[in-house]
Structure 1
Amino acid sequence: MKRAAMLVAAALCGGLAGGAVQADEQATVEALLQRIEALEARLRELEAKDRQALPVLREEPAMQAAPEPTAELMDAVSGSERLATAAEPVASAPDIHVGGALRFNLVHRDFLDSSEGKRGESGLDVFRLNVDGKIDNILVSAEYRFYSYMNTIHHGWLGYEFEDASQLQVGIHQVPFGILPFAAHNAWFGVPYYLGLADDYDMGIRYQRQDGPWTSHLAFYKNEELNSPADLDRYSFDLVQVGEQQNEEINQFNARLVHTFGLGSSCETEVGGSGQWSEVYNAASDRRGDHWAAAAHIDSRCGRWNLQLQGIRYAYDPVNPAGADTTAVRVGAFGGSYDIAGEADVAVVNLAYNFQSPLSWIDQITCYNDYSRLFKDEPGAIDSQINTIGCAIGSGPLFTYIDYILANNMAFFGDGSMAAGGSDEWRRRFNVNIGFYW
């Protein structure tokens, strides 16, 4: 710019030197030179300010522009470019929550001599850690559990949320079948859970969406959650390979469709149907059989009442080697296994009432009676039943279940069997489960 000014001055001076230079013309040239130098200084000042502003502007989440050059500068310097800066895009901050729970049990079992003799027992139920969150449209959810006798994953999946709020989930997630999320109100659950037909988690892909009152699920599961059918340290009940029973569940398809009447009102009633079909691979025969299950349910929440009704029909048709029992299949979880009827019907009738809390430090009191029954196809087999009456009490981060459980021919209750055999006798368990959640 200085060189240009000198050239302009030289040109002007040269032109004037060729003729008579008047005193007022010389003064005009000097004034013009001073003007150009002043404009140059102004330009350098604006450029210096712009360089100082750049780091601050790049930290801003929104687009910003530098100040416009003055009209004075634009007129004096032809061809000058407008100065503008814009912030770099900033990624959305992750919305991740890390939580968990610590739960303890106080138990009395009338079918166990040591429990009777000690007038009850107590111990750790579970310590668990949860991670849930969202970054842009990417979802994540995981939970790992620590019991006194085993450690295992509960679930873990990644998902994508579309613009219409529908979701695609990949990983270990809850199988969409029957009443969701739970077909019971109590801490011990009911018959469907111990068959692997409620609160079951497997490895696969699931799509879910809601269209007004309609909710739909479609899913495919390649195998059970651990991909290790001989491992009994698991949360969900699945087919397991123990003894002569060497079956495992593979290539399972699930579909669930429900309609909610009175959606958004104080009385919502969900009516739905579910179906699942899978192959059953037998490691001993190296052949595949199949399995199917279907369910219809009603889940009504009117005022303070909740009524759950569900009917299930299921059947297994494995290809066992010669000598293996074909009327039953073996399931396992929580470090143990047992046989269940190969074909059966299931009925669920649950009723709960949410009381208004009489105390300021109690947030919730829900009392319930949950009943479920397994009707076995095998002639002469004794049905399996369980009835739980109790209350769930919430107070801040504390949540307590107080349950009185009656069970007839149920797994985990004496010599009860969910296949053939067992005993037609009611067993009792008093269970207090206290949990701290964060």
Structure 2
Amino acid sequence: MFSKITLIIGFLLLSAGAIHAQDKPEVTIGGALRFNYNLSSWKEGQKKRGGDFGYDVFRVNAKAKYKGIKLNAEYRLYSEGFGGGMLKQGWLAYDFDAKNEIQVGLTQVPFGITTYNSHNWFFSINYYIGLEDDHDMGVKFTHTDKKWNYALAFFKNAEELKFGSNSDVSDSRYSYDVASIDLDGDGVLDLRNKETNQVNGKLSYKIGNDSINHKIGTSVQYGGLYNLDTEEMGSHYAAALHYELKYKRFGVKAQVSTYKKSPKNPNGESDEIIAMTAYGAPYLVAAAGNTYTLGVQYTVPVKWGPVSSLQFYNDYGYLEKINSDFKDSAMNVTGVLVSAGSVYTYFDIAAGKDQPWLGPVWKNALANGTADAKWEVRFNMNIGYYF
């Protein structure tokens, strides 16, 4: 079946060159440079020195079009501690017409509210378990209309960088994927699973006009989890219902999601947890759970020198873990996005409970959690110049 899909895609892409007459290629280069300041309640040394301000990321975006074939790529350079260089996305595309497109490569997974199920710099709790702004390697078909929108996709795997028979997933990646982790510090990786052969479907319907509109949708995904030690194929699935409201300068994003990962781990390794990784460091996640997210925003146009708008928002997310022995996780981000020409600055007050990026516990926060977990707070300011 996969061979037939590959042949069909190849035929479509080759045919596109004959259909479209474009004598000169179109190339656009852009990018961004971002800096970050943060002050965290659980970091005593940082509090004593008044927080830290440093380099976040430098990224390069490239778009091209020639003879009907389009390219879209984004490469990011983080510090070595956050994974170093990584391709966020990179795909080729062909537009059959104004409504229908096919993409091939490292492309965004059509699941939940896209492009983002959030308004803030941290995203929602779904991002940290691989259910928001995820990018995988495969083929995606999208149909975009005034009312009905849908997407169908097949992903062979997540970003593959090693191509070995028994290679673990690299930690250098932008979006969270199932991976491996050293549980006991002995230098040997455990829970060695990889995503493979995933199918996705997303459908949404838009009601209203330019002044006020509602978008109601649903998403599903199902795929395999290949264990590198047992060489057996497990499975994983996720489903979601989502809703968006836009009324003049006011907006709402709401989503309910459920997921379950069923790996075929070796004897002695728990099936109640799964390893996931991004930004250079893996952690553990509950193998099954439900998430609830709600975000609201209101944009105020202003004329303060270069400042043209202020977008105020609040995003809340909750992870309900199916294992009753695990402690649930939550996060809430209140902030404002300040737009000034090509400079965009996020001012966020991010609070987390059993959230690895918003608290002192990294490895187990999204898995079994901690019995005495408290809400921790991080003030974050991210300044980016986009060109």
TM range (shorter): 0.7 to 0.9
> Once superposed, which parts of structure 1, at least 4 consecutive aligned residues long, lie more than 6 Å away?
none
Matched, 1:192 2:120: no
Letter in 2 for 1:269: H
1:247 maps onto 2:193 in alignment: yes
Structure 2 counterpart of 1:419 = 367
Of residues 136, 153, 174 in structure 2, which corresponds to 1:202? 136
Amino acid corresponding to residue 194 of structure 1 in structure 2: Y
Distance across 1 between alignment mates of 2:307 and 2:64: 29
In structure 2, the partner of 1:283 is 228
1:261 aligns with 2:192: no
Equivalent-residue separation in structure 2 for 1:290 and 1:312 (angstroms) = 17
CA separation in 1, counterparts of 2:24 and 2:304? 40
Check the 8 A contact 1:98/1:131 in 2, yes or no. Answer: yes
Q: Does 1:141 align with 2:75?
A: no
Corresponding pairs, count: 349
Greater helix percent: which structure?
1
Name which of 164, 175, 191 aligns with 1:236: 175
TM-score, normalised relative to structure 1: 0.78
Q: Could you tell me whether the CA contact under 8 Å between 1:203 and 1:224 is conserved in 2? A: yes
**Aligned partner letter, 1:256:** K
Relative to its length, the structure with more strand (as a share) is: 2
Matching residue of 2:5: none
The reply on whether 1:163 has 2:97 as its aligned counterpart is yes
Query: Which residue of 2 is the match for residue 123 of structure 1?
Result: 54
Once the two structures are TM-superposed, the CA of residue 382 in structure 1 deviates from its matched residue by 1.3
Question: 1:91: Cα distance to partner?
Answer: 4.2
- Measure, in 2, the Cα distance between the counterparts of 1:342 and 1:134: 41
Deviations 1:317-361 (A, max 9, x none): 111000001101010000111111111000001000001214252
Aligned partner of 1:56 in structure 2 is: none
Query: Residue 226 of structure 1 aligns with which residue?
Result: 160
- Residue 310 of structure 2 corresponds to which residue in structure 1? 365
* Superposition map of 1:302-313 within 5 A: 302-313=247-258
Matching residue of 1:437: 386
Structure 1 residue 135: Cα displacement: 2.2
3-state SS of the aligned residue for 1:363? Answer: strand
SS at match of 1:192: helix
CA distance in structure 1 between the partners assigned to 2:177 and 2:235 by the alignment: 14
- Change in CA separation of 1:210 and 1:230 when aligned onto 2, cut-off 3 Å: closer
Q: Is the 8 A contact 1:157 1:169 kept in 2?
A: yes
Which amino acid in 1 is paired with 2:219? S
CA-to-partner distance for each residue in 1:164-214, whole Å, 9 max, x for gaps?
431100000100000010011111112100000000010000000124300
Q: What is the one-letter code of the residue matched to 1:104?
A: F
Q: Find out whether 1:151 has 2:85 as its counterpart.
A: yes
Q: Tell me the distance in 2 between the aligned counterparts of 1:399 and 1:164.
A: 31
Structure 1 residue 258 displacement after superposition: 0.3
SS in structure 2 opposite 1:116?
A: helix
Aligned to 1:37: none
Query: Which structure's relative contact order is higher, taking Cα pairs within 8 Å and 6+ residues apart?
Result: 2
- The SS at the match of 2:367 is coil
Contact 2:152/2:201 (8 A) holds in 1: yes
Identify the match of residue 341 of structure 2 among 375, 387, 396. 396
The structural deviation recorded for 1:134 is 2.1
SS at 1:245 equivalent: coil
Percent of aligned pairs sharing the same letter: 33
Match of 2:151 among 217, 221, 226: 217
Task: Give the alignment partner of residue 33 of structure 2, picking from 102, 108, 111.
Answer: 102
Q: Secondary structure at the match of 2:36?
A: strand
Q: Is the 8 A contact 2:160 2:169 kept in 1?
A: no
Question: What SS is found at the alignment partner of 2:266?
Answer: coil
* Structure 1: unaligned runs, 5 residues or longer: 1-88
Distance 2:49 2:71 in 1: 44
Residue 265 of structure 1 deviates from its aligned partner by: 2.0
Q: Distance in 1 between matches of 2:203 and 2:246?
A: 18
Distance 1:182 1:90 in 2: 35
Task: After TM superposition, give the deviation of residue 388 of structure 1 in Å.
Answer: 0.3
The separation in 2 between residues aligned to 1:421 and 1:437, in whole angstroms, is: 37
Query: Does structure 2 retain, via aligned residues, the 8 Å contact 1:137–1:162?
Result: no
| CA 213–123 in structure 1, closer or farther in 2 if over 3 Å, else same | same
TM-score (norm 2): 0.88
Q: Specify the SS of the correspondent of 1:357.
A: strand
The answer to whether 1:315 aligns with 2:260 is yes
Query: Alpha-carbon deviations, 1:344-403, whole Å to 9, x = none?
Result: 000001000001214252122101000001000111321100000000011111000000
Rounded Cα–Cα distance in structure 1 between residues aligned with 2:213 and 2:108: 23
How far 1:269 moved relative to its partner? 1.1
Report the Cα distance in structure 1 between the residues aligned to 2:145 and 2:89, rounded to whole angstroms. 26
How big is the alpha-carbon RMSD for the aligned residues of Structure 1 and Structure 2?
1.5
Residue 69 of structure 1 is matched in structure 2 by: none
2:23 maps to 92
> How do 1:343-362 and structure 2 match up within 5 A?
343-362=288-307
Distance across 1 between alignment mates of 2:77 and 2:207:
40
1:42-89 CA-to-partner distances (Å, cap 9, x unmatched) read xxxxxxxxxxxxxxxxxxxxxxxxxxxxxxxxxxxxxxxxxxxxxxx9
**1:26 paired residue number:** none
Partners of 1:90 and 1:170 in 2: CA distance = 21
After superposition, the Cα gap between the structure-2 partners of 1:380 and 1:159, relative to the gap in structure 1 and judged at 3 Å, is same
State the SS of the aligned residue for 1:233.
coil
Aligned equivalent of 2:323, options 374, 378, 386:
378
Is 1:339 aligned to residue 288 of structure 2?
A: no
CA contact (8 A) 1:240 1:330 kept: yes
